[in-house]
């Protein structure tokens, strides 16, 4: 599609104010640094989230280098173009009307990984499952907890992802980030200010581009055995047969979200194709034909009923993108 055809297509779509920001000039700027085949217009976001729901982004750009981010992000900030950084979409709910902006996906084109002694250095796009597998194959222990987490390392670092007693803060040595001014910075573990499912990056205009993880030498067989044990626990307790974003809610202090939801009588609660899992009430699942609105309504209803019954606020782990 040439520049004029692309612009007319947007104009016919009636995007309003956002249309003027997402102009042909913006497209040409992106194309100066990104191959045209890596720029997808009006991309359905249901293809890029583990919930398998969501409308179209005005453009999705597959990022393959730090240089691209160094050029695009400051430009978007300067021109006011809305943008969103996407990893594997494993913690994301995109509205049915889509996202009126540009999605920059940091995925397998930024997923290099190398061993440095007892550490591994990896790009932000490396899936956490692959990082755990790489560590095991190199006889490095500490990432077993991540062997079933479907997100990328970049996303895992931002939210301090964790499972079964392990968290990213336990293994992160340093994180390389890009500011919205185009500066590359290195943050050590203390500077990351890790907390429960959060880090300093959640509230700063930083994009994770890489990380160094400090691990512990161990036996490959023992590490693999632990990973297999955790995989079996997931199969037993989690609704892996359905599309979801994993644990939908953060664990409130002193409680378990799943038990609160079950005790509130919400096991199997359903709106359209979205449902509170009967296998694990901490999961909201897509039974096959859910919309983003269905999922959002289940989440809001769970929050309201748990608050009314127990006085406990359930904070969602899932990020909402777009209009709901």
247 is annotated as an active-site residue: yes
Whose CA is closest to 134, among 143, 125, 170, 85? 143
Where is 173: in which H helix or E strand? strand 172-179
**Residue 284 token pair:** 């909201």
Whose CA is closest to 286, among 239, 322, 319? 239
At which residue do the structure tokens 């127990």 appear? Answer: 310
Q: Is the dihedral of CA 198, 204, 210, 213 positive or negative?
A: negative
β-bridge mates for residue 152, sequence order: 127
Q: Which of 70, 144, 167, 317 is catalytic?
A: 317
Contact between 194 and 169 (Cβ < 8 Å): yes
20 is annotated as an active-site residue: no
Q: Which of 64, 111, 199, 247 is catalytic?
A: 247
Q: Which of 43, 197, 244, 277 is catalytic?
A: 197
Contact between 218 and 176 (Cβ < 8 Å): no
317 is annotated as an active-site residue: yes
At which residue do the structure tokens 């932000």 appear? Answer: 124
3-state secondary structure of 255: coil
C-alpha–C-alpha distance, residues 208 and 137, integer Å: 25
Which residues are identified as catalytic?
197, 247, 317
């Amino acid at each position: 599609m040439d520049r004029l055809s692309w612009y007319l297509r947007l104009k016919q779509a009636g995007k309003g104010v956002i249309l003027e920001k997402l102009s042909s000039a913006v497209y040409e700027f992106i194309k100066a640094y990104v191959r045209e085949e890596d720029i997808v217009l009006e991309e359905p976001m249901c293809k890029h989230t583990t919930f398998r729901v969501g409308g179209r982004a005005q453009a999705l750009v597959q990022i393959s280098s730090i240089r691209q981010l160094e050029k695009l992000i400051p430009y978007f900030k300067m021109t006011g173009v809305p943008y969103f950084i996407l990893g594997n979409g494993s913690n994301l709910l995109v509205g049915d009307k889509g996202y009126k902006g540009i999605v920059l996906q940091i995925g397998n084109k930024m997923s290099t990984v190398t061993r440095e002694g007892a550490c591994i250095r990896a790009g932000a796009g490396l899936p956490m499952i692959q990082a755990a597998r790489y560590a095991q194959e190199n006889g490095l222990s500490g990432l077993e907890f991540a062997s079933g987490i479907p997100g990328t390392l970049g996303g895992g670092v931002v939210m301090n992802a964790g499972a079964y007693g392990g968290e990213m803060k336990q293994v992160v040595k340093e994180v390389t980030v890009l500011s919205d001014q185009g500066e590359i910075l290195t943050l050590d573990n203390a500077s990351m200010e890790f907390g429960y499912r959060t880090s300093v990056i959640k509230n700063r205009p930083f994009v994770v581009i890489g990380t160094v993880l400090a691990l512990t030498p161990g036996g490959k067989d023992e590490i693999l055995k632990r990973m297999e044990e955790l995989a079996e626990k997931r199969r037993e307790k989690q609704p892996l047969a359905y599309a979801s974003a994993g644990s939908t809610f953060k664990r409130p202090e002193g409680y378990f979200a799943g038990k609160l939801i079950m005790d509130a009588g919400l096991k199997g609660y359903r709106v359209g194709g979205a449902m509170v899992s009967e296998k694990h009430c901490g999961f909201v699942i897509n039974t096959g034909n859910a919309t983003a609105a269905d999922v959002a309504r289940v989440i809001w209803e769970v929050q309201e009923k748990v608050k009314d019954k127990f006085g406990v606020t359930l904070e969602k782990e899932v990020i909402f993108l777009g209009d709901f």
